[in-house]
Amino acid sequence: VPESVAHPAECHQMNVEGTRRVLLAASQAGAARFVLASSCAIYGNDPVMPKTESLSPAPASPYAESKLAGEQLCADSSLPAVALRFFNVYGPRQDPSGPYAAAVPRFLDAAREGAPLTIHGDGKQTRDFVYVDDVTAALAHAAFHPELQGVYNVASGHSTSILELAQTIQSIAHSSSPICHAPARPADVRFSSASIERLRATGWHPRFSLSEGLCRLLSTR
């Protein structure tokens, strides 16, 4: 999200024009169905919790706006399409460095190295962390169930503060790394909690709790 604030044109080119081109290519290739990887960022800072798909979008960053535009492209396409709004996905092979680094890989690497776990802001901001295996299962589920239409949240259904995440990683990694705080990042959503009842009603459900996912991830790093 912060990277999209710094480079909004590049974000639009990648997520909007990229989606347009892939939709066109899929249609020309005779694809039966299109599944879009969208984002919970679309909900913005709407205080209503948990986030349900019926909430009006309130994008608060160029990234969120680009994802909402991608959903509209899917809705306008003649190709049957469904959009999955991913919440905070984590799993193996996430890069802990660079402008797109997420909290989980950064904290895990720091905990293993004995380095500080740096939280942007006060740590009370919440996220719904979902393990990548549950996300890939949702993608396959959406691809092979043509009755799925519109948008669906993909999450664990449980909200965790960033401070709680850091403390959980400290415990699982048996780390003595300190927790420290840095300034909050621009355009970051304050609170996020997902309702997954709409997708659950179609037969998908998350298999991994946050602790289970983190333990699996730690064993691969």
Q: At what angle do helices 103-113 and 162-172 cross, to 10 degrees?
A: 40
Note if 63 is an active site residue: yes
Taking the CB of residue 99, how many other CB atoms lie within 10 A of it? 9
Q: What distance in Å separates the CA atoms of residue 91 and residue 174, rounded to the nearest whole number?
A: 19
Q: Kind and range of the H or E element at 37?
A: strand 34-39
DSSP tag of 41: G
- Residue 154 burial class via C-beta count within 10 angstroms: exposed 0-12, middle 13-18, buried 19 and up: buried
Tokens of 162: 């960033």
Query: CB-hemisphere CA count at 13 Å for 204?
Result: 26
Distances (CA, A) of 220 to 29, 115, 116, 130, 153: 37, 20, 21, 17, 27
DSSP tag of 17: I
The catalytic position among 63, 90, 131, 152 is: 63
Of 154, 142, 134, nearest in space to 208 by CA: 134
Of 71, 50, 69, 53, nearest in space to 61 by CA: 69
Which amino acids are annotated catalytic? 63
